[in-house]
């Protein structure tokens, strides 16, 4: 007698006696889950549209510059200028995707499900911050790497601009950390998704507008030192100034203050933002 | 072994004492935690999970101290909160796999456990759709699944029947009973409906305004009283007369007779009387104290 096909046997409850890994593993799992969420993987199709579109837009300058490189054998854009030129795209990505990382857990009260497990609230924040940082760094780093590989393949006369590529990658990472901390803090303070998007984009527009306005005002007064500091109100320029201090290189017409000043400001800003995030979550966890 | 034990456990918030010197313990099985809204049930669960530090007193869960071994406790227990706690844009499968991993299960094991658990709680094809489109009953099942997926030793279920229709309520209660018996996972379940807990619990803890009212086995609450309910098709008066003749204490109550039990012979007397009178005996059952009555007496007595 043969078993008829398609019969589901209820084999009853089975206990799990396999390995139970620690909170470090759980933190990494949360990091991977959040990173997938940022790009809409494992979510409905409409969650994928914006992040994937913006990631493709970030690739455009790289593709164009490789094409020109191949045809005219001429460099069109410095590596270090990619993030500066494309900063509106980065800002839109930050604004639209930061809320997806932190807002649902606060708004729909998912946080208690995490906190009733071995992860601590600090590990939770670290995983979220790392996921957003890596997402931004991918947006900056993938086009840069593509351009670098293109340059190596095209084989221009003279050595490749390796140092510039490294400088662009390092400053790209710093920018990613800074923007991620800023975006997550703002999004965690405004758990409604639309508000989160609006607040992040508003802060970006405000800082870049204030930077331009102050720069113009100081420049017309002839106070170039003050003007060069005023530019740093824009976080992208702040990180670019740090890059100039560390690696030198072109500034695309901007003047930045000399010395480690911008680096100290950037560092202090990251500490303040991450501290704010920690405070926000200490409060959320106590509820 | 105790699954939980507290000693003088106190939690004070500014202006309010949520738990007041609570000393209680419970063994394996299904333990009901009963109290009105604001009695301190949710606060107690949060403290037992090691998420809220006690103001005074101590507590152990699975023989681990909540103050020092919170992380170890959270590795061994599951928690289903009272409130909504599900993001709308992920599927039940995705969510439950994620929370299995958050409890330390490797990815492959997490997938397998998630599929098993979702089947046990009764979610089938719909588990691949985003949770936002689920009914309340399905959401409650997902909440339960995420608490069970890591195969905990103990689960805390905070108001699991909240918002369910009568059928969903029955299903949920049956499932909780299965978790406690068939699955072999100890359960602490809160409710403000005593009738529900009566059906599924081995042990009931009653708290009110942060203080312990009573903690005892369910059989103590609902112990058989010494009264039998007898119902016959017709001829109730004749039966009452015959029983009174035989020396039994009979009180008619509507269509039924209440007969005080003097000993095993009372059952025989009723049987023989019904047979002699050729009556149709429909019902012969032990009257039970309902847990509500006990609760009402205890609250009134405080």
Q: Among all residues of chain B, which has the CA nearest to that of A286?
A: B52
Cβ(B100)–Cβ(B114) under 8 Å?
yes
Identify which of A236, A239, A256, A243 has the alpha carbon closest to the alpha carbon of residue A88: A236
pLDDT of residue B293 exceeding 90, the answer is no
Which positions in chain A touch B83 (Cβ < 8 Å)?
Answer: 109
Segments in B25-80 forming alpha helices (H): 41-48, 70-76
What integer pLDDT is reported at residue A156 of this predicted model?
A: 76
What integer pLDDT is reported at residue A2 of this predicted model?
A: 45
Among residues 182-241 of chain B, which lie with CB inside 8 Å of chain A? 182-184
- The model's confidence at residue B279, banded by pLDDT at 50, 70 and 90, is confident
Q: What is d(CA A108, CA A118) in angstroms, rounded to the nearest whole number?
A: 21
What integer pLDDT is reported at residue A9 of this predicted model?
A: 56
Cβ(A39)–Cβ(A48) under 8 Å?
yes
More confident position, B67 or A12: B67
What integer pLDDT is reported at residue B296 of this predicted model?
A: 60
pLDDT of residue B157 exceeding 90, the answer is yes
- φ and ψ of B213, to 5 deg: -95, -45
What integer pLDDT is reported at residue A272 of this predicted model?
A: 97
What integer pLDDT is reported at residue A70 of this predicted model?
A: 85
How large a percentage of chain B has pLDDT more than 90?
50
Q: What is d(CA B288, CA B266) in angstroms, rounded to the nearest whole number?
A: 18
Among all chains, which residue has been given the structure tokens 């590596």? A79
- Among the partner residues B81, B89, B102, nearest to A112 by beta-carbon distance: B81
More confident position, A147 or B229: A147
Q: Among all residues of chain A, which has the CA nearest to that of B150?
A: A16
More confident position, B36 or A7: B36
Q: What is the mean pLDDT of residues B21-25?
A: 92
Question: Looking at chain B, which runs of residues are DSSP E strands?
Answer: 4-13, 16-26, 30-34, 56-61, 64-65, 77-80, 154-158, 186-191, 203-208, 211-217, 224-232, 250-253, 256-260, 281-288
pLDDT of residue B45 exceeding 50, the answer is yes
How near does any CA of chain A get to the CA of B299, in Å? 30
Q: Could A109 and B85 be called an inter-chain contact, meaning their C-beta atoms sit closer than 8 Å?
A: yes
Cβ(A83)–Cβ(A143) under 8 Å?
no
Q: Could A115 and B51 be called an inter-chain contact, meaning their C-beta atoms sit closer than 8 Å?
A: yes
Lowest-confidence segment of B113-122, B148-157, B267-276 by average pLDDT: B267-276
Q: What is d(CA B126, CA A252) in angstroms, rounded to the nearest whole number?
A: 55
Q: Among all residues of chain B, which has the CA nearest to that of A103?
A: B87
- Among the partner residues B49, B106, B184, nearest to A19 by beta-carbon distance: B106
Q: What is the mean pLDDT of residues B5-15?
A: 91
Identify which of A129, A262, A148 has the alpha carbon closest to the alpha carbon of residue A188: A129
More confident position, B219 or A32: A32
Q: What is d(CA B41, CA B64) in angstroms, rounded to the nearest whole number?
A: 20
Average per-residue pLDDT for chain B: 87
User: In this complex, is the C-beta atom of A38 within 8 Å of any C-beta atom belonging to chain B?
Assistant: no
Q: Could B87 and A110 be called an inter-chain contact, meaning their C-beta atoms sit closer than 8 Å?
A: yes
pLDDT of residue B301 exceeding 60, the answer is no
More confident position, A70 or B81: B81
DSSP A144-191: HHHHHHHHHHHT-SS---HHHHHHHHHHHHHHHHHHHHHHHHHHHHS-
Lowest-confidence segment of A96-100, B154-158, B162-166 by average pLDDT: B162-166
How near does any CA of chain A get to the CA of B213, in Å? 27
What integer pLDDT is reported at residue A250 of this predicted model?
A: 77
Q: Among all residues of chain A, which has the CA nearest to that of B156?
A: A116
Terminal alpha carbon distance of chain A: 61
What number of other Cβ atoms are within 10 A of residue A261's Cβ? 16
Residue of A37, A112, A116, A285 to mutate when probing chain B, most B C-beta within 10 A: A116
pLDDT of residue B38 exceeding 90, the answer is no
What integer pLDDT is reported at residue A198 of this predicted model?
A: 94
Environment class of A74 (CB within 10 Å of its CB; exposed 0-12, middle 13-18, buried 19+): exposed
Stated length of chain A: 287
How near does any CA of chain B get to the CA of A29, in Å? 6
More confident position, B124 or A251: B124
The predicted model scores a pTM of 0.84
Distances from the Cα of B254 to the Cαs of A117, B232, B247, in angstroms?
A: 56, 12, 21
How large a percentage of chain B has pLDDT more than 70?
93
Tens-binned pLDDT, residue by residue, of chain A (287 aa): 444 455 555 668 889 999 999 899 999 999 999 999 999 988 888 889 999 999 999 999 999 998 988 888 877 788 988 999 999 999 999 999 999 999 999 999 999 999 999 999 999 999 999 999 999 999 999 999 999 998 888 877 778 888 999 999 999 999 999 999 999 999 999 888 889 999 999 999 999 999 999 999 998 998 888 888 999 999 999 999 999 999 888 777 778 888 889 999 999 999 999 999 999 998 887 76
Q: Can you say whether residue B59 is alpha, beta or left, with left for phi > 0 and alpha for psi between -120 and 50 degrees?
A: beta
């Amino acid at each position: 007698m043969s078993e008829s096909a398609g019969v589901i046997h209820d084999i009853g409850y089975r206990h799990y006696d396999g390995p139970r890994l620690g909170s470090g593993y759980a933190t990494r799992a949360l990091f991977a889950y959040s990173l997938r969420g940022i790009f809409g993987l494992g979510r409905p199709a409409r969650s994928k549209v914006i992040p994937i579109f913006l990631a493709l837009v970030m690739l455009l300058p790289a593709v164009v510059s490789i094409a020109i490189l191949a045809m005219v054998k001429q460099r069109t854009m410095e590596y270090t200028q990619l993030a500066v030129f494309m900063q509106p795209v980065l800002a839109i990505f930050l604004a639209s995707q930061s809320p997806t990382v932190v807002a649902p857990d606060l708004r729909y009260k998912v946080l208690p499900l995490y906190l009733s497990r071995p992860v601590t609230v600090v590990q939770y924040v670290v995983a979220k911050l790392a996921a957003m940082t890596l997402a931004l760094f991918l947006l900056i780093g993938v086009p840069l790497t593509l351009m670098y590989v293109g340059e190596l393949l095209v084989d221009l006369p003279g050595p490749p601009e390796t140092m510039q590529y490294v400088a662009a990658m390092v400053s790209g990472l710093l920018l990613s950390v800074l923007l991620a901390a800023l975006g997550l803090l703002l999004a965690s303070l405004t758990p409604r998704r639309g508000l989160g998007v609006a607040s992040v984009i508003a802060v970006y527009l405000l800082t870049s507008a204030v930077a331009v306005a102050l720069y113009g005002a100081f420049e017309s007064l002839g106070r170039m030192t003050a003007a060069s500091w005023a530019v740093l109100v824009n976080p992208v320029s702040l990180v670019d100034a740090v890059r100039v201090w560390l690696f030198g290189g072109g500034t695309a017409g901007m003047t930045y203050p000399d010395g480690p000043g911008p680096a100290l400001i950037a560092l202090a800003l990251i500490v303040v933002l991450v501290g704010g995030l920690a405070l926000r979550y200490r409060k959320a966890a106590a509820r | 072994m105790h699954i939980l034990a507290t000693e003088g456990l106190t939690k004070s918030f500014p202006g309010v004492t949520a738990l007041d010197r609570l000393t209680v313990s419970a063994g394996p099985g299904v333990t009901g935690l009963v109290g009105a809204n604001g009695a301190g049930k949710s606060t107690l669960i949060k403290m037992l999970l090691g998420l809220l530090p006690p103001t005074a007193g101590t507590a152990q869960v699975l023989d681990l101290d909540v103050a020092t071994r919170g992380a170890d406790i959270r590795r061994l227990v599951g928690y289903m909160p009272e409130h909504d706690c599900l993001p709308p844009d992920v599927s039940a499968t995705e969510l439950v796999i994620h929370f299995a991993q958050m409890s330390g299960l490797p990815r492959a094991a997490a997938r397998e456990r998630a599929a098993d658990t979702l089947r046990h709680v009764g979610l089938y094809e719909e588990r691949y759709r985003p949770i936002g489109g689920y009914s309340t009953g399905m959401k409650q099942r997902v909440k339960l699944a995420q608490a069970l997926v890591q195969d905990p030793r103990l689960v805390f279920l905070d108001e699991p029947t909240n918002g369910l229709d009568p059928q969903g309520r029955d299903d949920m209660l049956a499932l909780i009973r299965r978790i406690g018996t068939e699955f072999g996972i100890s359960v602490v379940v809160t409710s403000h409906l005593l009738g529900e807990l009566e059906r599924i619990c081995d042990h009931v803890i009653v708290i009110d305004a942060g203080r312990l009212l009573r903690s005892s086995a369910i059989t103590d609450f609902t112990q058989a009283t010494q009264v039998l309910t007898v119902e016959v098709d017709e001829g109730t008066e004749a039966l009452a007369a015959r029983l009174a003749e035989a020396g039994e204490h009979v009180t008619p109550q509507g269509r039924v007779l209440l007969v005080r039990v003097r000993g095993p012979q009372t059952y025989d007397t009723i049987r023989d009387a019904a047979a002699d009178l050729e009556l149709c005996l429909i019902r012969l059952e032990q009257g039970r104290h309902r847990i509500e009555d006990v609760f009402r007496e205890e609250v009134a007595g405080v």
